[in-house]
Chain A
């Protein structure tokens, strides 16, 4: 955004553009960070209690993660590129196609392969099949 041009009397268009293209994305990123901090703060007492055992199938958790993340990705593209950025509608189709390729063509196979490798490594380290320690919080979270 050319601040010099907007400050030289280009009218409200310049400031509107700054709000849409610069302020809105940065403010949104800050709000996401603050929400994360609030979520951490609210769990203060709960964090000291042991987490419940994981429930649900891991494939369901992976599917939920991929689908939910893909929806968030599309929302980012629609809101910040199409609505605020006034980009061409073809960008949405581009994001749909390329985002699908990224999510289901690259990330999903990578997750499957890495999960298989982790399980194989675990079996090699623990041939008896017993867990030597408790699951980490993120492992519990992703298993539900």
Chain B
């Protein structure tokens, strides 16, 4: 299990490092995730998909199989 967790730590570290690089770099050549999401939000379909995914995540994690006081 340690190897699997280390793998995730490495992958997430690379992603965050790439995001940091894109935030520091100028121009469109290295777009940060926030810039991509901002562009996607310009399209109505993009806003619908992002909001739908956000709804799904909240429902899946916190609401699905809801019991009183959120006991799943």
Q: Which residues of A contact B28 (CB under 8 A)?
A: 44, 47
A72 pairs with B48, CB closer than 8 A = yes
B59 pairs with A65, CB closer than 8 A = no
Looking at the assembled complex, report how far the CB atom of A22 sits from the nearest CB atom of chain B, in whole angstroms.
Answer: 15
Counting chain B residues whose Cβ lies within 8 A of the other chain, the interface size class is 20 to 34
Which residues A37-68 have CB closer than 8 A to chain B?
Answer: 37, 39-40, 43-44, 47, 51, 64-66, 68
B39 pairs with A73, CB closer than 8 A = no
Chain B's closest residue to A99 (CB) is B59
A36 to B50: give the CA distance in the assembly, Å.
Answer: 10
Q: Does A32 contact B (CB under 8 A)?
A: yes
B31 pairs with A40, CB closer than 8 A = yes
A32 to B49: give the CA distance in the assembly, Å.
Answer: 9
B35 pairs with A40, CB closer than 8 A = yes
Which residues B27-66 have CB closer than 8 A to chain A?
Answer: 28, 31, 35-56, 58-59, 63-64, 66
Chain A's closest residue to B36 (CB) is A40
A137 pairs with B42, CB closer than 8 A = yes
Q: List residues of chain B with CB under 8 Å of any chain A CB.
A: 28, 31, 35-56, 58-59, 63-64, 66
Contacts beyond the supplied A65-B47, A107-B55: 6 A-B pairs with Cβ under 8 Å? A68-B48, A68-B51, A72-B55, A76-B53, A102-B59, A141-B42
